[in-house]
């Protein structure tokens, strides 16, 4: 009896049987390696996190730059000294007077301006201008003006001008050979000047080209007349 009990204990210790009611051990996920990185978020989440940045087409990662609106650079502001030249055609209107030489008609118009800019749309301008009418008898009738005025730009390319000063009507015999020009008749007066102009091209530099229409009212006790010129001009400021 003792031998049988000892043999049974030996079988249990040496060759134990696995109990059927014991569950197998749970599977344990191995820890991640120290140098591994988490998976990136989906592209939609990446764009939501980096909305202020610009993306290239088909690229889920943000570009290394930020998109800014384009910078628009305007024309240079008018400033400093102004200088201008103009040439074209002119006309002197008929007038009535006693003890004077009367002339009228179309001819050549010239102008020279010099002034300074008070602010980008206002300038003080002085200058001289003339309308010359050559005649077949070797005489020339002319209307001269020396005026000062204010020029104002209604818009960037459209301007007007008004002023006053000295004016003169002159009839002279042309120079022939060694004989100098001879004054036949002249009349000085007060002049009122008006002008308008349109710059042909948008300004990119301090240089401008324009078309000008100028008028001068000649006022004296003996003569009242007017001159009109259509000129093509260039100016710098």
Point out which residues pair with 191 in neighbouring strands.
Answer: 165, 218
Structure tokens at 1: 């009896």
Instruction: Indicate the burial class of 99 (C-beta count within 10 angstroms; 0-12, 13-18, 19 or more).
Output: exposed
pLDDT value for 26? 57
> Are the CB atoms for 169 and 148 separated by under 8 Å?
no
Residue 111 lies in a domain: yes
* Helix and strand counts by DSSP (H, E) for the chain: 2, 8
Phi-psi region of 207 (alpha: psi -120 to 50; beta: other; left: phi over 0): beta
Q: Mean pLDDT across the chain, nearest whole number? A: 82
For 132-146, the pLDDT digits (tens) are: 999 988 899 999 999
Point out which residues pair with 162 in neighbouring strands.
Answer: 150, 194
Distance CA 138, CA 141 (A): 10
Residue 78 lies in a domain: no
- 16-32 mean pLDDT: 55
pTM: 0.67
Residue 196 lies in a domain: yes
> Are the CB atoms for 227 and 131 separated by under 8 Å?
yes
Residue 68 lies in a domain: no
Domain count, the chain: 1
Distance CA 5, CA 225 (A): 154
For 83-99, the pLDDT digits (tens) are: 999 999 999 999 888 77
11: pLDDT confidence band, cut at 50, 70 and 90? Answer: low
Distance CA 172, CA 141 (A): 7
18: pLDDT confidence band, cut at 50, 70 and 90? Answer: very low
Structure tokens at 16: 């134990």
pLDDT value for 28? 58
> Are the CB atoms for 115 and 126 separated by under 8 Å?
yes
Residue 3 lies in a domain: no
CATH code (residue 206): 2.40.160.20
- 181-186 mean pLDDT: 88
Point out which residues pair with 111 in neighbouring strands.
Answer: 86, 129
Domain that holds residue 175: 83-236
User: How many residues does the structure list for the chain?
Assistant: 237
- 15-36 mean pLDDT: 56
- Measured from the Cβ of residue 148, the count of other Cβ atoms closer than 10 Å reads 14
Structure tokens at 193: 């000047």
């Amino acid at each position: 009896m003792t031998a049988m009990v000892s043999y049974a204990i030996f079988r249990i210790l040496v060759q134990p049987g696995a109990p059927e009611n014991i569950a197998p051990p749970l599977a344990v996920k191995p820890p991640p390696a120290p140098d591994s990185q988490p998976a990136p978020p989906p592209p939609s989440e990446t764009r939501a996190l980096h909305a202020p940045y610009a993306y290239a087409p088909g690229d889920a990662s943000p570009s290394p730059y930020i998109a800014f609106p384009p910078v628009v650079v305007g024309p240079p502001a008018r400033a400093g000294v102004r200088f201008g030249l103009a040439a074209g055609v002119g006309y002197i209107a008929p007038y009535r007077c006693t003890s004077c030489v009367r002339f009228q008609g179309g001819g050549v118009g010239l102008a020279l301006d010099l002034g300074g800019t008070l602010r980008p749309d206002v300038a003080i301008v002085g200058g001289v201008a003339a309308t010359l009418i050559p005649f077949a008898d070797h005489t020339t009738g002319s209307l001269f003006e020396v005026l000062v005025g204010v020029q104002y730009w209604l818009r960037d390319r459209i301007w007007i001008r008004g002023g006053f000063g000295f004016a003169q009507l002159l009839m002279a015999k042309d120079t022939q050979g060694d004989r100098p020009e001879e004054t036949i008749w002249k009349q000085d007066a007060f002049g009122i000047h008006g002008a308008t102009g349109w710059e042909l091209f948008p300004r990119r530099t301090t240089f401008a080209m324009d078309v000008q229409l100028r008028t001068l009212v000649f006022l004296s006790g003996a003569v009242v007349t007017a001159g009109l010129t259509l000129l093509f001009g260039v100016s710098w400021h």
